[in-house]
Amino acid sequence: MLLRHTTKEIKEREALTVNPAKTCQPIGAMYAALGIHGCLPHSHGSQGCCSYHRSTLTRHYKEPVMAGTSSFTEGSSVFGGQANLLEAIGNIFSIYHPDVIAVHTTCLSETIGDDIPQIVSKAKEDGKIPAGKYVIHTNTPSYVGSHVTGFANMTRSMVEYFSANTGVKKNQVNVIPGWVEPSDMREIKRLAKELGVKIVLFPDTSDVLDAPQTGRHQFYPKGGVTIPELISTGDSLATIALGRFASTSAAEALDAKCKVPCEILDLPIGLEATDRFIDTLRTVAGVNVPDSITEERGRLVDVITDMEQYFYNKKVALFGDPDQLIALTEFLVTLDMQPVHIVTGTQGKRFEERIRKILKSKVPNANVRQSGDMFLLHQWIKNEPVDLLIGNTYGKYISKDDDIPFIRFGFPILDRVGHSYFPTVGYQGGIRLLEKILDAVLERQDRDAGDTNIELVM
């Protein structure tokens, strides 16, 4: 394997990325758009771009991902894609009958400088958008940001196009879940229901990318936030945004547009982050926490207490999306583990600041890098080996090369199933994460044990 030639000597690189720890903006925009009921995402660029974005999502979720494309040719690349998008809008509404088309741009259309709002206005003038139907858009050049940025941009566009303030408050709370799995979105809704709080979750990919097999194909599955629900977000009591990188811009846009106050929290992964989410939801909705939630928390604490000896001082390397890494790092510290190498491919100095604040008293000398890559992560591991590696599928090569136990977490996971069906948020999600970590640690312990010291009972 080429990774065996990774050197220990680290040199600063500005113009070269090796094995990026991210994917491109349009993938995130497409994923967010799928969280609107009856929505068909549309890639304004070449057919190859759309195919890549669809296939990546399909491979991760093991579900068919539908999307349109403007199918740029050489002519479109020179003269612009207005004619292509106008024709696409007309064809999509005539053939596929979505409630909304969510247009995102690509490198090509951004470089050309296509004016999407102007093209959409032209489509309305030409009668290509039926009454009661919508076309929304966001700008997602792949040469800026990452898939997390694209998700944030499309979610903000949902606010800009739909949210409305009628002046009459509704007894509901908006929750922006950030980039998490459909199972996580379902778990957030379950927790809110357990608390007795009505929420509008947007986007919501549960029952879209984890829809059940019924024997009949549904082009638009039953899941997703509806247009009336999105419109109503402007009358909600408050907004809780989960994940500063993926959710802040939409929450702040909703506050500015409709005067809905917002609370920005970490993803509710692990004990402390889930505590903050439950407490904030309780406070803004004016409810009490039921015994059922308290008992869920108690079970997580019990597992942590019972298994702490196996987690203690284990060194961990992590890579992936910033919001997930922040919450996961805090959880690992709660377990008395030592996150020593942490890399995200998404830009943002707030990431490094937040991670260092979490690790300040526990692992003050940890290696942390935003806009880093997996080559750098591997070099760090070569210099300071770890007991556990956590990240998406691409970590399997480092795991194999350096013989490190590996837990798949984040996006994309291309070689395993279960991530879209089993939550890792909330107290129950925390128990699942603990199980995965413990399995990896004990598998390694059993594998390395001799005939005389292999344990039968933990």
pLDDT in tens, 13-28: 888 889 999 999 999 9
Query: Starting from the edge strand earliest in sequence, which strands make up the sheet with 338-344, in order?
Result: 367-370, 338-344, 315-320, 388-391, 406-408
Residues 181-190 have a mean pLDDT of 98
Q: Where are the domains of the chain?
A: 7-15+307-448, 25-162, 173-292
Query: Structure pTM?
Result: 0.95
pLDDT in tens, 127-162: 999 999 999 999 999 899 999 999 999 999 999 999
Instruction: Name the CATH topology of 7-15+307-448.
Output: Rossmann fold (3.40.50)
Residue 320 above 80 pLDDT? yes
DSSP, collapsed to helix, strand or coil, labels residue 245 as helix
Residue 1 above 80 pLDDT? no
Closest CA to 401 of 378, 420, 383: 378
Mean pLDDT of the chain: 95
Contact 370, 351 (CB under 8 A): yes
Residues 426-435 have a mean pLDDT of 97
What are the backbone dihedrals phi and psi of residue 390, each rounded to the nearest 5 degrees, phi first?
Answer: -130, 130
Residues 404-423 have a mean pLDDT of 96
- Contacts of 67 by beta carbon, 8 Å cutoff, 6+ apart: 30, 40, 41, 42, 43, 50, 53, 54
Helices (H), 312-384: 322-334, 349-359, 374-383
Please give the structure tokens belonging to residue 223: 């899941």
Are 7-15+307-448 and 25-162 equal in CATH topology? yes
Residue 403 above 60 pLDDT? yes
Residue 29 has a pLDDT of 98
**Of 7 and 355, the one with more pLDDT:** 355
CATH no. of 25-162: 3.40.50.1980
24: exposed, middle or buried (C-beta count within 10 Å: 0-12, 13-18, 19+)? buried
Instruction: Name the CATH topology of 173-292.
Output: Rossmann fold (3.40.50)
| Residue labelled with tokens 């190859």 | 48
Residues 167-189 have a mean pLDDT of 97
Residue 76 above 80 pLDDT? no
Distance set, CA 230 to CA 158, 177, 252, 253 (Å): 7, 14, 15, 13
Residue 195 has a pLDDT of 98
d(CA 333, CA 5): 32
- The verdict on whether omega for the bond into residue 212 sits within 30 degrees of 0, i.e. cis, is no
b/e for 45-73, b at 16 or more Cβ within 10 A? Answer: bbeebbebbbebbeebbbbebbbbbbbbe
Helix (H), strand (E) at residue 398: helix 396-402
